[in-house]
Amino acid sequence: MDHVYRLIVMDVCRPTAVLGVLSLGGMALLWRDISSKVKGENRTLSSLLSQYFAVKVVGWLGKRQRGKLEADTQNIRQVQEETLLKRLRKTADTRYGKQYDFSSIKDCEAFRTRHPVTTYEHYRELVARVAAGEEKVLIAEKPLILAMTSGTSGASAMLLSTKDTNTEFFLQGVAVCLDAMRRAFPATDSLQRTTKLFYSPTFRQSEAGIPIGPNSSTPASSRHMLNLYTTPAPAFQVPSERDTLYLHLLFALKDPSVGTLESNFASTVFYAFSALQERWQELVEDIKLGRVSPALALEPGVRASLEGQMKPDPERATQLLTHFQQGFVGIARRLWPQLNLVLAVDSGSNQIYGEMLRERYCQGIPFYSPFYAATEGLIGVNLWPEEERRRYLLCPRSMFCEFLPEASLDQETPEKHTLLMEEVQEGHSYELVVTNASGLFRYRMGDIVKVVGFHNQCPVVEFQYRRGQMLSVRGEKVSEVMFLGALKRAISQWPGAQLVDYCCAESAIMGESCGGSDPHYQVFVELKGVRNLTEEQRYKLDQCVQEDSAVYKSFRFKGSIGPMRVQMVAEGAFKELRKQMMAFSNTSANTFKMHRVLRRKEYADFLLGKTI
């Protein structure tokens, strides 16, 4: 996203060029507009102008793209067909396009008749050929990177990422969401800086020299981008996540006028506040002395550059000390009185982190969950930022979408039942099947969404669960959203308990360590406010799941499924598990999602070892 943003705004953001063409009258109006906006502290004129013009350009793009989106939603069938045919034309001359004779396909029906519904296995060998350097296999151009998926429902997959995918994500996603954000939260139309929690991903090279890693780019790739953020460029290049987070917090705390906290996911924001609670004394001392902690393992050049931007600030340190001594409930508003927004996805597996942030650290701060996106590309945008319910308008020009009815997913040939955007029904759930700009055709994503309405003719959806993240030991099918609802109700009946994190495992993966012969669920919870759970409290979760799932209840009544085993784990267990999962899947902290259903015995055994 950031490098596309850079290309679009870099020319208009050169203050010298702008100043050369503005009249004195225009300059006066410009300065009046800049002066009227809330600004960060210690800003140079150059950085203010750069940020001002960047915001104006993206604002203009956002209005234009929002207008296009509104028009597209009025004629969804035609727009979807245009999107499909554009993809097929661009790949018609590839080996894959010739195999399926894309050049002769003239409409959606011909494509659906000729091309099968696919899964990742269909592409594995083809992607390997691209990685080895073979050209025009799936796409016409060389991919920018070989993007690794987060692996929440199985092994990580390697997908192609192209310039088209990134450009469309920016224009159809970022620009539109920033427009929606400014309409809903006018205070964000300011010149305050944003604290962007981002960690430099690690890439390796394929045989052909194509980078392999997460599909994310660093904000440090453009000095114009850096004018938006509190964190200096060198900090974005620090390899250690722990040290990078410390630097994000240090430079954010220095600036009392931070306007937005931004990250891909709410989990990253939550972990940042957890780290702040652990290390605030060290951070306050650094701000007081004007240094970067000597405990950080930094290269000498990086340290020198960062310390060059630090000056002793005992006044700010005293303010911070007072805020921290008052406790951490509502700390964000006290640290940054002009904080307008937390910008991060807090739906799906990130829902609990958003709830914990709102209840504790970020009381009173609005949250905006802008996108529904994946490594495959942009799926939907949230045009209703102020609503608590996270729903997303599908982007009709991003991908060609088909929908497999949830009820047909277990049938032998569910692909015979795909529906188009104009054919889905409100209140029904479907698995997404997408054709994107980077070499996936009729691809089963594994995401189950519920259609909750329509915006003109275009479906509006809520994410429900990943197909591989379903609990099912006897075919009962308890989804992530169902289980979380039951867990929250159970915890509300455990006096003093607050949920920190959780995951589940089916007894079959645990072997002899599962503690019972009947198939059952092992549930691992990290809680605050309680030291132990009684057997009655643990059984309450089983009862809550039975209330929500008639099938689960019937199996429990028959004895076909044994009682749920609820294991309370030690503080910090999930932080350690997160590190293990990222190391195993080569996932970046920017794109990691906690696995709610564990499919690897090593992870379940690790948590068993952390049981209180």
Alpha-carbon torsion angle 40, 46, 49, 53, nearest 10: -110
Q: Are residue 289 and residue 338 in the same domain, yes or no?
A: yes
Q: Are residue 200 and residue 103 in the same domain, yes or no?
A: no
CA separation, residue 276 to residues 239, 317, 331, 361 (Å): 19, 14, 10, 10
| Greater pLDDT, 221 or 499 | 499
Residue 263 has which token pair?
């990250």
Residue at 378 is within a domain:
no
Q: Are residue 288 and residue 273 in the same domain, yes or no?
A: yes
Question: How far, in Å, CA of 295 to CA of 240, rounded?
Answer: 12
Q: Are residue 398 and residue 500 in the same domain, yes or no?
A: no
Range of the domain at 432: 391-469
> Which of 237, 204, 203 shows the shortest CA–CA distance to 220?
237
Q: Are residue 233 and residue 349 in the same domain, yes or no?
A: yes
Amino acid 30 reads L
Question: How far, in Å, CA of 533 to CA of 321, rounded?
Answer: 36
Residue at 560 is within a domain:
yes
Q: Which pTM does this prediction carry?
A: 0.89
The residue-averaged pLDDT of 225-235 equals 87
Q: Of 469, 499, 525, which one is at a domain's C-terminal end?
A: 469
Residues composing the chain: 612
CA separation, residue 29 to residues 23, 45, 64, 88, 103 (Å): 10, 15, 24, 48, 54
Question: How far, in Å, CA of 277 to CA of 21, rounded?
Answer: 49
User: pLDDT at position 575, please?
Assistant: 92
**Confidence band, pLDDT 50/70/90 cuts, at residue 435:** very high
Q: Are residue 64 and residue 80 in the same domain, yes or no?
A: no
Q: What is the DSSP string of 346-376?
A: -SGGGHHHHHHHHHTTTTT--EE--EEEETT
Q: Which helix (H) or strand (E) holds 498?
A: strand 498-506
Angle (CA) 314 317 319, round 5°: 115
Residue at 380 is within a domain:
no
User: pLDDT at position 171, please?
Assistant: 93
Q: Are residue 46 and residue 175 in the same domain, yes or no?
A: yes
Residue at 396 is within a domain:
yes
Question: How far, in Å, CA of 236 to CA of 469, rounded?
Answer: 33
Q: Of 89, 119, 147, which one is at a domain's C-terminal end?
A: 147
Q: Are residue 354 and residue 291 in the same domain, yes or no?
A: yes
Q: Are residue 491 and residue 400 in the same domain, yes or no?
A: no
- 485 φ, ψ (degrees, to nearest 5): -60, -45
3-state SS assignment for residue 294: coil
Q: Of 353, 368, 383, which one is at a domain's C-terminal end?
A: 368
> Which of 139, 129, 149, 124 shows the shortest CA–CA distance to 212?
149
Q: Are residue 352 and residue 448 in the same domain, yes or no?
A: no
Distance of CA 274 to the CA centre of its chain: 19
Q: Are residue 92 and residue 64 in the same domain, yes or no?
A: no
Q: What percent of the chain has pLDDT over 90?
A: 75
User: pLDDT at position 9, please?
Assistant: 45
Give yes or no for residue 371 having a pLDDT over 80. yes
Distance of CA 78 to the CA centre of its chain: 30
The residue-averaged pLDDT of 239-266 equals 95
Question: How far, in Å, CA of 196 to CA of 419, rounded?
Answer: 39
Our count of domains for the chain comes to: 4
Residue 75 CB neighbours (<10 A): 15
> Which of 78, 85, 79 shows the shortest CA–CA distance to 106?
85
Give yes or no for residue 37 having a pLDDT over 70. no
- 259 φ, ψ (degrees, to nearest 5): -100, -30
Residues 6+ positions from 382 with CB-CB distance below 8 Å? 177, 180, 368, 369, 370, 371, 372, 390, 391, 392, 393
pLDDT digits over 562-612, tens only? 999 999 999 999 999 998 988 887 677 888 889 999 999 999 999 999 998
Q: Are residue 222 and residue 347 in the same domain, yes or no?
A: yes
pLDDT digits over 312-359, tens only? 999 999 999 999 999 999 999 999 999 999 999 999 889 999 999 999
